[in-house]
């Protein structure tokens, strides 16, 4: 009896010790965190840390999280827990300036009324009518506030950026950011000059939709192509189709960048918007001799980038052909209606870019799913300067390559998808279509201001290198942000109603919005998702699917050919309707082959299922049994060590 009580007491003491150890460990080790996720989902970027530490006033962060309603929704609960964990990271690095409150706005409560008052956006789940809240309210001591109405799981990649941007915007309402715009196209709207007949009545153009969207959020200032300086106080500079810019204006752009400026430049080897501006007034000879390209070779050389086809290496064998080349891609080709009817045609110089053609790590391109580019060019990194970082944003498939310039000239007059595809030679590597360059730049004008006449003062004037880190985005297509390739515009009661047809305008707005922010915001990268797929399982499924699909397609083609032959015979006279013995044997053989193939398909699917089940078993075994196994091994090792030590001591 005494031994039993002693054993029970011993177990009770052990249980108390384990519980106490857990509580003490939770208190002592709470600040100690190890982020083992592949994309560091729970670790803040240096830019976010800087912004959190530089907060002028204490901030209250109210995270409205319908915890009760989401208790049985694992996917959303995991996402909400990640948001909460990230907010605790902000609280941890802010040095006591952020107070986090997690609020569960249950129905018919004051918390729900508070969520509605702040303008949070609720959503409902398919299985219930209860409103779910997942939003954030940031308030400082002066009652300035920033609200994220809803954290959408579709935007999980930009979660940290959205929170950091809201923190950086907290405070008194600042003046609207200023954006300068330079373009040789009539993107601002107004009268259009007819280059073929300047005396003709001028046509009135509407502003491009991207300009209207920018004006809704920024103070947009137009800069004439004849200007010789960039206005002071610009937060970002937008350059669209810079055709034949003077050295004076290019020098002003150069100096703006060296002062820490941000530039978004859209260039083009063949601007279809430029061609359309001619109004169809040109004959064949004039069209073939016209140049619809734009490039900034002198500035690009200093920025460490060049357009493919415009570099010295591209034209060493063809010194007379030095213009940037159009890129074609049969894999990404947009299908267009056939002029003679029939099946749609692949337009290889019009590309539809998907998620696999964007840089998912960049805030500007994260979440974009559908971008259309028309006769775009390619970009190539040229600088080996370690102070400049070249980051591709958009790219083609590996089959992309350049298109013959003469074919593009004919294309401008009479688009023919078949001829472009027939003469196209596929490539073997991806081509960059848009890129971001950041860091410390050197001047493109080492000789100084070209407007100065005196050589001595010219060399001494102007910056030679960056005062502050600058940033440039170069996009090798201007047509993508034209109305033709970005919006569907309809007139309704005299009003122009535009609806987006792709992600082209969001791409441009994202870039300008990002550049108009602080350097810390520009440096942020998007993150991965907390829900990570089993890529090994997907590859196994895809491999098996490809295998049986090819077999099935081949068999179906054989059966269809036999059916066609049978139908042809049956349409003949009575004598031809009698199937000969050879054909009957062929049909019978095909039927047997079909039955055998179906059995083989079942075997392939069974092997697929068995492979997935084996992989799932291994994953579960590692997740469930690995830690207990390691603990058991360590415990046994400790026991053996103690036993050996006692033997040595005795």
In this prediction, residue 111 carries a pLDDT of 93
pLDDT tens digits along 501-535: 999 998 999 899 889 876 676 666 555 555 555 55
CB-based contacts of 61, cutoff 8 Å, min separation 6: 87, 90, 91, 98, 99, 100, 101, 136, 137, 138
- Residue 630's pLDDT band, with cuts at 50, 70 and 90, is confident
pLDDT digits (tens, 9 = 90+) for 354-393: 999 999 888 899 878 899 999 999 999 998 778 899 999 9
- Tell me the range of 108-117, 545-554, 592-601 where mean pLDDT is highest: 108-117
574 pLDDT band (50/70/90 cuts)?
Answer: very low
Q: Measured between alpha carbons, how far is 558 from 553 in angstroms, rounded to an integer? A: 9
Average pLDDT for 232-253: 95
Residues 6+ apart with CB under 8 A from 228: 246, 248, 249, 252, 451
612 pLDDT tier (thresholds 50, 70, 90): low
Residue 233 parent element (H or E)? none
Q: How far is CA 395 from CA 325, 378, 403, 511, in A?
A: 15, 9, 16, 17
pLDDT given for residue 390 in this prediction: 96
List, for residues 410-454, the tens digit of each pLDDT value. Answer: 766 666 788 888 889 999 999 999 999 999 999 999 999 988 765
Mean pLDDT of 258-285: 82
Q: For every residue of 115-128, which 3-state class applies, written as one string?
A: HHHCCCCCEECCCC
548: Cβ contacts below 8 Å, ≥ 6 apart: 600, 601, 604, 605
d(C-alpha 326, C-alpha 400), whole Å: 10
Please name which of 456, 479, 609 lies closest in space to residue 187, comparing C-alpha atoms: 479
Mean pLDDT of the chain: 80
Q: 206-215, 430-439, 458-467, 601-610 — which one is most confidently predicted on average?
A: 430-439
Q: Distance of alpha carbon 241 from its chain centroid, rounded?
A: 23
User: Would you state the pLDDT for residue 34?
Assistant: 60
Close Cβ partners of 424 (under 8 Å, ≥ 6 residues apart): 328, 330, 348, 401, 403
Q: Which of 73-77, 191-195, 488-492 has the highest mean pLDDT?
A: 73-77
**Percent of the residues in the chain that have a pLDDT greater than 70, as a whole number:** 67
- What's the whole-model pTM score? 0.69
Confidence of residue 569 (pLDDT cuts 50, 70, 90): very low
pLDDT: is 95 or 645 the higher one?
Answer: 95
Backbone φ and ψ for 62, nearest 5 degrees, come out as -100, 110
Residue predicted with more confidence, 169 or 536 = 169
For residue 498, pLDDT over 80 is answered with no
- Of 238-252, 330-344, 629-643, minimum mean pLDDT range: 629-643
pLDDT of residue 301: 95
């Amino acid at each position: 009896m005494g031994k039993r009580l002693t054993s029970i007491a011993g177990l009770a003491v052990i249980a108390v010790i384990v519980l106490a150890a857990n509580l003490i460990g939770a208190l002592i080790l709470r600040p100690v965190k190890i982020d083992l996720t592949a994309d560091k989902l729970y670790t803040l970027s240096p830019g976010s840390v800087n912004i959190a530490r530089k907060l002028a006033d204490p901030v209250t962060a109210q995270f409205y999280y319908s915890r009760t309603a989401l208790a049985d929704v694992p996917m959303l609960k995991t996402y909400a827990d990640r948001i909460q964990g990230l907010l605790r990271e902000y609280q941890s690095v802010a040095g006591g300036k952020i107070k986090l409150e997690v609020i569960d706005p249950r129905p018919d409560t004051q918390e729900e009324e508070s969520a509605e008052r702040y303008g949070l956006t609720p959503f409902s789940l398919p299985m219930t009518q209860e409103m779910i809240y997942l939003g954030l309210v940031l308030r400082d001591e002066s009652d300035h506030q920033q609200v994220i109405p809803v954290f959408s799981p579709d935007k999980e990649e930009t979660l940290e950026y959205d929170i950091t941007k809201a923190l950086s915007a907290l405070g008194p309402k600042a003046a609207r950011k200023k954006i300068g715009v330079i373009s040789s196209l009539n993107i601002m709207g107004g009268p259009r000059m007819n280059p073929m007949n300047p005396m003709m009545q001028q046509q009135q153009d509407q502003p491009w939709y991207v300009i209207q969207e920018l004006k809704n959020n920024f103070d947009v200032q137009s800069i004439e192509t004849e200007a010789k300086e960039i206005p002071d106080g610009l937060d970002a500079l937008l350059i669209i189709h810079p055709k034949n810019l003077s050295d004076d204006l290019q020098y002003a752009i150069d100096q703006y960048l060296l002062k820490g400026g941000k530039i978004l430049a859209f260039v083009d080897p063949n601007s279809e918007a430029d061609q359309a501006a001619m109004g169809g007034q040109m004959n064949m000879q004039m069209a073939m001799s016209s140049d619809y390209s734009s490039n900034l070779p002198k500035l690009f050389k200093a920025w460490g980038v060049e357009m493919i086809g415009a570099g010295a290496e591209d034209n060493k064998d063809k010194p007379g052909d030095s213009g940037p080349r159009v890129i074609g891609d049969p894999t990404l080709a947009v299908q267009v209606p056939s002029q003679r009817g029939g099946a749609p045609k692949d337009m290889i110089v019009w590309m539809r870019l998907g998620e696999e053609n964007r840089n998912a790590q960049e805030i500007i391109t994260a979440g974009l799913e559908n971008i259309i580019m028309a006769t775009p060019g390619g970009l190539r990194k040229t600088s080996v300067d370690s102070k400049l970082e070249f980051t591709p944003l958009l790219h083609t498939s590996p089959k992309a390559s350049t298109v013959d310039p003469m074919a593009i000239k004919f294309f401008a007059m009479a688009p023919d998808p078949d001829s472009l595809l027939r003469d196209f030679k596929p490539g073997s590597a991806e081509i960059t279509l848009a890129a971001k360059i950041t860091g410390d730049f050197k001047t493109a004008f080492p000789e100084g201001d070209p407007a100065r006449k005196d050589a001595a003062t010219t060399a001494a004037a102007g910056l030679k290198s960056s005062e502050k880190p600058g940033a440039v985005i170069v996009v090798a297509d201007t047509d993508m942000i034209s109305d033709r390739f970005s919006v569907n515009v309809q007139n309704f009661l005299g009003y122009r109603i535009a609806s987006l047809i792709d992600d082209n305008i969001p791409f441009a707005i994202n870039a300008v919005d990002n550049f108009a922010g602080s350097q810390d915001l520009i440096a942020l990268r998007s993150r991965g998702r907390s829900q990570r797929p089993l890529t090994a399982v997907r590859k196994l499924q895809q491999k098996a699917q490809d295998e049986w699909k090819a077999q099935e397609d081949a068999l179906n083609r054989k059966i269809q050919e036999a059916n066609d032959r049978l139908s042809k015979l049956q349409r003949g006279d009575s004598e031809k309707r009698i199937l000969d013995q050879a054909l009957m044997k062929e049909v019978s053989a095909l039927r047997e082959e079909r039955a055998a193939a179906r059995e083989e398909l079942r075997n392939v699917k069974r092997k697929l299922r068995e492979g997935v089940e084996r992989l799932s078993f291994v994953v579960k075994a590692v997740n469930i049994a690995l830690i207990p196994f390691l603990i058991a091994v360590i415990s046994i090792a400790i026991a053996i060590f103690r036993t050996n030590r006692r033997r040595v001591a005795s």
